[in-house]
Amino acid sequence: MALALEKKRPYLSREAGWNFDNSYLNLSEVFYRHVRPTIYPVPQMVIFNSALAEELGLRVEFFTSESAELFTGNELPEGAQPIAQAYAGHQFGVFTMLGDGRAILLGEQITPEGRRFDIQFKGSGLTPFSRRGDGRAALGPMLREYIMSECLHALGIPTTRSLCVAATGEGVWRERLLPGAVLTRVAASHIRVGTFEYAALLFAHTGDIKPLEELALYSIRRHYPEILEEESPYELFLKRVMEAQISLIVKWLSVGFIHGVMNTDNMAISGETIDFGPCAFMEEYHPLTCFSSIDYEGRYAYSRQGPIGFWNLCRFAESLLPLFSLDPQKAQAQASKVLEDYDRLFEKEYLQVFGQKLGIEKAQEEDLGLIKEFLAILEEEKHDFTNAFRALGEAYQKESSFFSASSRFKHFQKKWKKRLKRENPSVVERLLQEKNPAVIARNLKVEEAIAKAEQGDLSYLHRLLDVVRKPYEENSENEEFRRPAGIPYRTFCGT
Ligand code: AMP
Ligand code: MG
């Protein structure tokens, strides 16, 4: 019988490349609940990421239209042990108990190279953590996550990835009835700052430090194994997570990306971008740009992402305090020692990354003025962030057609070129090309691709994906995707 089933559904088998480990199950049971995905009536494949499947060691030829049964959770691959993960988090500054309300972790796929990736369904039905939610996801937001994660990945920004979107055949009620879907998400792990807040809360209630300790050691082993043998691994852990977040946030800033909902449950300790919800790319430059319809005060606006990263890391550090020392004063002093470096490290990273966007290989503090001056021009003259930086490639060589009307730019250009005389011209040219993408996933293009996909036409979605996967190319085919829409834009939380 089993053999017959496998023959019929080869995409579930080890031959298809599935190679699960389920190490999260070795943690205390407080960290998860066993749960089965909901069965959906008429599953259908929408989009499958063959390149990512190959990276995961999956054999693409096994995944046909029939594997919609797998990618909606109706059938599970061999070795999967589905769970919903427990976590908490500060949402817009307010602490809440959360957990996977509509996500189910199948396990960790071990690739042929021995790398470990979480495979998770999003939208696969109710879990013990669903609270008042329906456990479902709508097709539009899942396609949005697929596009945005592909775009960030192509830009070299650490991110969770999207393996597949499959339609469930079921309607989902939001403001209106929408087509339902399941996204299969791939991540270095789904351990969040909020997972630590949850463990710290358990400690506060029970006095049992074991779960917190387990989670920390597990996370270190999984993401920062080199620090395990060090003298103070927990402080180093905080430092590593802080460095990873700084690097991530500065990368976001460098391409005008606004995450939109940097709650502590949406900050992965691996340093990957996670939970895209209302994210979007800025077009016209303004530091306080904010797209999310629920972010009334602009808490997660473009330029606030750095300070919010620090705020979140403070919550992370607080959760780790009992591991530093059981003497609260001592523990706090240790945490502060790590955290007080945040601003300095952030500014250093910012200078390095934005310096390179101006063609300066190793920017020094005195170069910060140039960066600020250029951004001030963009703000005052309301330039498109992506296109303005991209135009520097031309402006380095000759009169800039992009900035032709700007006397301020001409003034800047003189100073900038003088500074670049101290650099190697071929390095400058390379940096201006490689650090300033021509293409990002522009908001209205993303909307258009989703709207068409919802009507059953996937061709525009595929075109958009082709284009955002080659962000440094500039040609007539992607011309339409490089044009700013020039109208105000709003995003809605991706539920
Ligand atoms: P997110 O906004 O995706 O980061 O989700 C925040 C929290 O709400 C997480 O605990 C989610 O699992 C939960 N959640 C979001 N949407 C739903 C839904 N439709 N049903 C149940 N839980 C949900
Ligand atoms: Mg979340």
CA–centroid distance, 492 to ligand 1, in Å, is: 13
Q: φ, ψ for residue 55 (rounded to 5)? A: -60, -30
Q: What pLDDT score does 462 carry?
A: 98
Q: What pLDDT score does 495 carry?
A: 56
Task: Confirm whether 265 is a catalytic residue.
Answer: yes
Q: What value does the mean pLDDT of the chain take? A: 96
The average pLDDT across 123-149 equals: 98
Using CA atoms, how far residue 470 sits from 158, 186, 275, 374, in Å, is: 16, 21, 23, 26
CA–centroid distance, 102 to ligand 1, in Å, is: 6
Helices 305-324 and 233-254 cross at an angle (nearest 10°) of 170
pTM of the model: 0.97
| Structure token digits, residue 215 | 């989670």
- C-alpha 282/C-alpha 207 separation (Å) is 46
- 28-86: pLDDT as tens digits: 999 999 999 999 999 999 999 999 999 999 999 999 999 999 999 999 999 999 999 99
- C-alpha 285/C-alpha 374 separation (Å) is 11
- Check 100, 118, 265, 367 and give the catalytic one: 265
Measuring from each residue's beta carbon to the nearest atom of ligand 1, which residues come in under 6 Å? 98-103, 130, 133-136, 265-266, 275, 277, 493, 495
> Does the structure show a pLDDT above 90 at 494?
no
Q: What pLDDT score does 1 carry?
A: 44
Q: What percentage of the chain carries pLDDT values higher than 90?
A: 94
Q: Which atom of ligand 1 is nearest to the CA of 132?
A: 21
> Does the structure show a pLDDT above 80 at 105?
yes
The average pLDDT across 257-283 equals: 97
- 427-481: pLDDT as tens digits: 999 999 999 999 999 999 999 999 999 999 999 999 999 999 999 999 999 999 9
- 215-229: pLDDT as tens digits: 999 999 999 999 999
- 282-306: pLDDT as tens digits: 999 999 999 998 998 999 999 999 9
- C-alpha 356/C-alpha 156 separation (Å) is 15
Q: What pLDDT score does 488 carry?
A: 77
Q: What pLDDT score does 486 carry?
A: 78
11: nearest Cα among 52, 48, 58 = 58
| Structure token digits, residue 364 | 């020094």
- 402-441: pLDDT as tens digits: 998 899 999 999 999 999 999 999 999 999 999 999 999 9
Ligand 1: which of 98, 259, 267, 295 to mutate, judged by most atoms within 8 Å of the beta carbon?
98
83: nearest Cα among 121, 134, 136 = 121
> Does the structure show a pLDDT above 60 at 364?
yes
